[in-house]
Amino acid sequence: MIQDILQQLHIGNVNRGVSTGINWLDAKGAVIDASSPVDGQHIATVKTASREDYDTVIATAQAAFREWRLWPAPRRGEVVRQIGEALRQNKEALGKLVSYEMGKSLQEGYGEVQEMIDICDFAVGLSRQLHGLTMHSERPGHRMYEQWHPLGITGIISAFNFPVAVWSWNAMLAWICGDVCVWKPSEKTPLSAIACQHIVQDVLKANKVPEGVCCLVTGGRDTGEWIAADTRVPLVSATGSTRMGKAVGSVVGARLGRSLLELGGNNAIIITADADLNMSLIGCVFGAVGTAGQRCTSTRRLIIHESVYETFTKKLAKAYQQLRIGNPLDEHNHVGPLIDKDAVNLYLDSIEKVKAQGGSFLVEGGVLSGDAYSSGCYVKPCIAAVENAYPIVQHETFAPILYVMKYSRIEEAIAMQNNVPQGLSSAIMTLNLREAELFLSQAGSDCGIANVNIGTSGAEIGGAFGGEKETGGGRESGSDAWRAYMRRQTNTINYSTHLPLAQGIKFDL
């Protein structure tokens, strides 16, 4: 089956991983061997970008920007609309490739492609709403307003856990704003990116889009470093670990460029005494084990009121025993593999640290073995009873380890929720209006996302996505996130016969 999918998406045994939009370069960089954590099988090889290839791509993108920025925004939106239609036609095949290459469940693979379709729809409408403000001037006979102009090249560095969706969040908005894009996907999931480039190419050709609007440069860490340091790239959008984001942010900041950072999460759900425990269970389990705990919005911590702690943790443990772990292309399975054996080792190391720091396990973890788990990347989702102050709990564990702890007062729970370096997503489960409003108030969650009676994982594209503190402060996707891809310009027009100065300053000649 997977061979049919690869053929449909134009993935061969050997693939070029560098494109200036419609054309592919004969890349001269290193070769990536792409394999699947599902079964450990080699899928294909990818030729990555050399520094010479990279410079060719950037030069092509610069030239394209000079033309693309002059296209009316609704015309650019029409191109994005057609890309959305192309993604609809390829949703099943692309969703299966994402699932197989990354290891997330098939439903999540389909969901990721649906996110791409949704952001296309959002961007199409937005292409007719890129607006500024008008302001009253203090000077008679003057009009003052602001407008927004495209920046130029948007460099997109994406992570393995969402190999295609996060690129689309950035690219679709950047394109309707008049920017061009250079995408550096994760070296762990290059084939999904190459498939997207093939899907988009037919739309670009049909609309005579300038060569260089949609570029792809596969490669390793050095490729990302080229983008971060490149003064020709005014905006770098990077998704990944806090460690990576600090490195990117410092390099981009040193050249006074702009960075849009979506980094680590250490997300908590507060379960109050007034929570609907059955509904809470669904949000907590999916949040903790979805994508095998490899989402930036995965639920890492449960802060449970002492009066319902025993009841709820028993429900959790029972639900975990019902989880089906296996090949994610089998829709009956809930949990697939971790991305690779390095991730497995980090999972095992985290378990040992929990024990060393005084925690205990309500549901034990471990690596699964046997023919069905031959890749060596399948692990057991586990639950650990801990204290919030444990060093391991303060760290983002990118694996299906759920930390549970007790609280007695709602103010204490909110303080525990906030007392970690990260600030992405948060949630409270309660039917108590006062608790819900306190959680959403200035004295409540310090995260970029705060939910009531839904989990931490699974954001709609209509809202701006991003977090605070070590999560980076960036915002992508919905609301007014489009402004990150543009530059603001304030304009004043004097239509009078005089030239008065602001603040009443006199300068007579």
Positions annotated as catalytic residues are 262
Q: How far apart are the two ends of the chain, measured CA to CA in Å?
A: 82
108 SS3 class:
helix
- Residues near 369 by beta carbon (within 8 Å), at least 6 away in sequence: none
Q: Work out the number of other CB atoms within 10 angstroms of the CB of residue 71.
A: 19
124, amino acid identity: V
Enumerate the β-bridge partners of residue 47: 16, 31
122, 234, 235 from 474: Cα distances, Å: 19, 15, 12
Buried b (16+ CB within 10 A) or exposed e, 319-352: bbeeeebbbbbeeebbbbbbbbeebbeebeebbe
Tokens 């801990």 -> residue: 386
Q: How many Å apart are CA 439 and CA 81, to the nearest integer?
A: 38
**Helix, strand, coil abundance in the chain, percent, nearest 5:** 40, 20, 40
Pairing of strands 42-47, 14-16: parallel
What token pair was written down for 194? 């190459």
Q: Where are the alpha helices (DSSP H) in 365-474?
A: 391-394, 410-418, 433-440
